[in-house]
Structure 1
Amino acid sequence: MRIIKVNLSISRLKICEIKWWHWLSNLLLVQILAACSQVSSSPPATKVSGESKDEIVLAFSWEDFDDKGFDPTMGWNYYGPPLFQSTLLRRNEDLELVNDLAQNYTISSDRKIWTFKIREDVRFSDDQPLTAEDVAYTFNQTKESGGLVDLSALDKAVVKGNYEVELHLKQPRITFINQIANLGIVPKHAHNKNYFRNPIGSGPYRLVQWNPGEQIIAEANPYYYGTPANIKRLVILLTLEDASLAAAKAGRVDVAHIPPSLAIQQITGMNLYAHKSDGHAGLMLPYIPNTGTREKLIEILHSNYALFAYAQGETTTGVVLHHGLRNVALPAITLQFASLGELFDGSVLIEKVFNYPGLGDATVQAALRSDVPLLLGIVFFSATFVFIGNTLADLSYQIIDPRIRFGKSA
């Protein structure tokens, strides 16, 4: 049963077993995979078969983790629940926080101590029990590892019993609950420098095979404490976006993650689903740093030649216009004309982020397809912008500051 060609993710189907809500910004689609046995009362536009399937093949671009592995203490899925591990809390299909490993938790009156009582029936995929020792070890190790997970608010994790642990914060921070809900618990007895390649966890799936740059194979964890997975085996092909679409057209995959720009193509036997996910992206725009222009102008206004101009009857406005601005303008001109090239580069980024057709998409597609002539043309065009900006800045220097004109002495 070949089912889905996916744009962003699938909306409002019942979530069955695959708990990986935030793989690559918009991979909420994998939660529901059409192997789920029921469809909600508000189905998507095209009907999905309710048949169950033991194995599915998925095509995703997973470079972000393909070289880093699957260690939560170093950042594996730091922005969402991991696939091979469990978390104390998790978010349900409505993005509400609910208990996972935790049976319940309390927060002290000063909001610095979070006390968790965890389930006693949880076992890792190597059939070893999960205890408070593992929870405390995970949080303390993550804090010391210096990975992608920010636990700077955590002071220490303390074991209070076999199935009770306390998280001590340096200061109250209610948003710390997000880190709690995202950090997968690792086994203290099996966590080592090679763990990222051979993860052991208590999540719904366990890693069977990993060929970096090629594929990941996962099978249902027989010791999972939650609802057993209907989909017993996942074959995840690590492909680029174009290759994912090609695999879908060839009938080699059941689910393909593709960008919106390719979603207009129809594939026989596959349905396209769109979902308003909670994925988000940040965009930092260029800005002019503080170069001390104000301080420089104040210094000039108190210099000897400014005092001499005042003594000759010059006003403050005249001193600023004739002496101050020329001295402070050079750094500002340098920054402004240097930003001319960034206007071109920034347009490329914005077009790709917001899916606008233009040079941004052309650049990415040329890189994916190894289109060297097109890449060279784009690079040359960008370099021309930078050259023009630097040239205009150099010419402006000579107009503003006579001391640096060619052929003139200082």
Structure 2
Amino acid sequence: MTWLDLGDDAPFDAWTLPYGAFSAAGEEPRVGAAVGPWVLDLAPLAAAEGLDGAHLFAQSTLNPFLAAGRRAWDAVRGWVLELVTEEAHRELVEPHLVPLGDVELRLPFTVADYVDFYASQTHAENVGQLFRPDSPDLPAAWRHLPIGYHGRAGTVVVSGTPVVRPSGQRRAGGPGSSVTFGPSARLDIEAEAGFVVGTPSALGTRVPVGAFEDHVFGMVLVNDWSARDIQAFEYVPLGPFLGKSFATSVSPWVVPLAALAPARVSPPPRSPAVASYLEDGEPCGLDVEFEVVWNGTVVSRPPLRDLYWTPAQQLAHLTVNGASLRTGDLYASGTISGPRPGASGCFLELTWNGADPVRLADGTQRTFLENGDTVTIRATAPGPAGTRQRLGEVTGTITPPPAP
């Protein structure tokens, strides 16, 4: 499939070809594609071939390329696939393969807006039982529409950025206990899939389910860090705020939707029937398996294929009221949790709000995150001809809050 010697442990194969922003040896950031243990430096390659869009890859983020639209995305992917699969291009390509270990990976795109959904039924039901034990597990609207909230674009950070433990107001104990201020004692993760918008839409128009691939360029892995004690105190009546706005980590590589074509699946059955603007006539789900690693121990494997509301439906709902899309918009699935044991996408569920600690490989037990803990989220998906493609990883380490 490729003339490159990738090996079995290559972070990305010659099919996935995700895009990101990198810098090497003090040079200005620019756009590259990852293949094996290298970054393919696209700007000089495109210039050498006289491509019209060569300037798009000399930019510090993916945004100009994202804005170029689907025809450009497809054309560039076809060109890169040809470069790495046809032996005739070896002499041209080899000088522009930069070892991953020699580069600094940047936030791949400038985030315009950030929206987080709540699309996993298992997660929503579990949170309902934990946070609202005297009420129905699912909110009344949950089966009718993809529930979501707006996050903060300015606190989306690239994988590897330290996560400072947030502080806020929370109750010292159960309902009726005193309210205190201080560092979160129930710091958590959320394993999510994020979707990056390339083509914008006009204010006052809708983006239908069928136009998903015309507007969304690709997928990133997301860890939406969450302070559960702050969240539990503040979220009524307007939902998450300070409990989630302090940091959201994303992977440095954006996997194009075209690479995920072999992973398309039908979503689970839905009842009641969805509104007409949410109807999806073709498989819009994604068979992506996540892996959550806590201080080196794999503690969970959440499946994206169980997502009740698909990414295409989330986009359609996001715009059905006429809200516009902008290049660089990011929207995420919400925590991905499956119904089987070991498939929880957050530690709130995995430890059942701290009642059932997780034992790590070093013998320690954890309920929520302690200072110095590192969490890495990885993902894989079906590739062509029965292969399995790696989709990258997002990682972060908890650091103490600043001194008062």
* TM class by smaller structure: under 0.3
TM-score, normalization by structure 2: 0.26
**Higher normalized strand content (fraction of residues):** 2
**Higher normalized helix content (fraction of residues):** 1
